Amino acid sequence: MTDSDSYLLGRTEAEAERLKRQIMTLAPDSREQLDRLGIRPGERVVDLGCGPGGVLHLLAERVGPGGSVLGLDRGHEFVALARRFVAERGLTQVEVREGDAYDTGLPKRSFDGAHMRLLLVNVPEPERVVREAVSLVRPGGWVASFEADYVPHCFDPPLPAWSRLLEAYTAHARAQGIDLSVGRRIHRLFRGAGVTDIRVDAIIHVFPAGHERRGFPRSLIANSRGKLVEGGFVARDDLERDLAALESHLSRPDVQVTSNLFFRLTGRLPD
């Protein structure tokens, strides 16, 4: 996201596939958040860290053909996928560009609203991204952030292998300056950037057998396995052993899988 792209989960093909599945699985939660914003047809909005599609279609629905949506992402691979996603859906009001969420280069106060989803939990210095997003919004405009707190993610019966894997992943994130519990403090980040009328809610899910999101813990580790081993956070043999145990555990219908917390924030800029 800066001079060296520091997106925690990387930009591998496996990560792109996970994000494409996430577009649909998180859509209901994002729809609820966007509905309470009261986005009007004709608005001009920006989505920072849009990935291979994110919520571009949901924002396009709300601004209508007379509005515009600009999606930005640092990775050219994700930009190409997002452009395909937009083209396949005929979203002519959506444009996707390669850009840095820390320093977009976009005109200040030129958008009616700014949105980001699961961006801050994957990059260092989230306060810089928040300040940049807020600077792009006109007085009286809106901001929306959908962020994670990984700590509550758990299984019942519990699995020691998952505890070890999550500990290694957390250490890897911490070494990159990334806070896996940033969701719980986004209210402070936006308030510190001058946002008012802040509203936050938190949601958590229990995923039944067969639900796509049950596989998220495995994807989280598998998509980062190279960095975890190379960084010395876990030995390769230990990682593969624990990852196999995790996969077996997740396949059991009697295992309850509870998601991480998601914090959904909305706010306004002073007039």
Residue 228 pLDDT greater than 60, yes or no? yes
Give the three-state DSSP class for 83: helix
Q: Give percent above pLDDT 90 in the chain.
A: 83
Rg, the chain, Cα only:
18
- Report which of 201, 194, 246, 200 is spatially closest to residue 222, judged by C-alpha positions: 246
Q: Mean pLDDT across the chain, nearest whole number?
A: 93
- Per residue in 205-215, pLDDT (tens digit) is 999 998 988 98
Tokens read off for 133: 């997003």
Q: CB–CB of 162/217 below 8 Å? A: yes
Span 187-225, pLDDT tens digits: 999 999 999 999 999 999 999 998 988 988 998 899 889
Quote the pLDDT of residue 152.
72
pLDDT digits (tens, 9 = 90+) for 147-194: 999 877 889 999 999 999 999 999 999 999 999 999 999 999 999 999
**pLDDT number for residue 4:** 46
Reading the block at residue 42, the tokens are: 């004709």
pLDDT tier at 80, thresholds 50, 70, 90: very high
**Measured distance CA(50)–CA(36) in Å, rounded:** 20
In which residue are the tokens 């593969």 written?
Answer: 240
CA–CA distance, 213 with 20 (Å, rounded to integer): 12
- How many C-beta atoms lie closer than 10 Å to residue 168's C-beta? 23
Residue 146 has pLDDT above 90, yes or no: yes
Region of poorest pLDDT, from 13-17, 53-57, 115-119 = 13-17
* Position with higher pLDDT, 249 vs 15: 249
Give the SS3 label for residue 54.
Answer: coil
Q: What's the pTM?
A: 0.91
Q: Which two tokens stand for residue 96?
A: 């996707």
pLDDT in tens, 7-50: 666 667 777 787 778 888 899 999 999 999 999 999 999 999 99
Euclidean distance between CA atoms 78 and 209, whole angstroms: 30
Tell me if 121 sits within 8 A of 236, measured CB to CB: no
Name 242's Cβ contacts closer than 8 Å, sequence gap at least 6. 161, 162, 164, 165, 234
Q: Is the N-terminal amide bond of 124 cis, ω within 30° of 0?
A: no
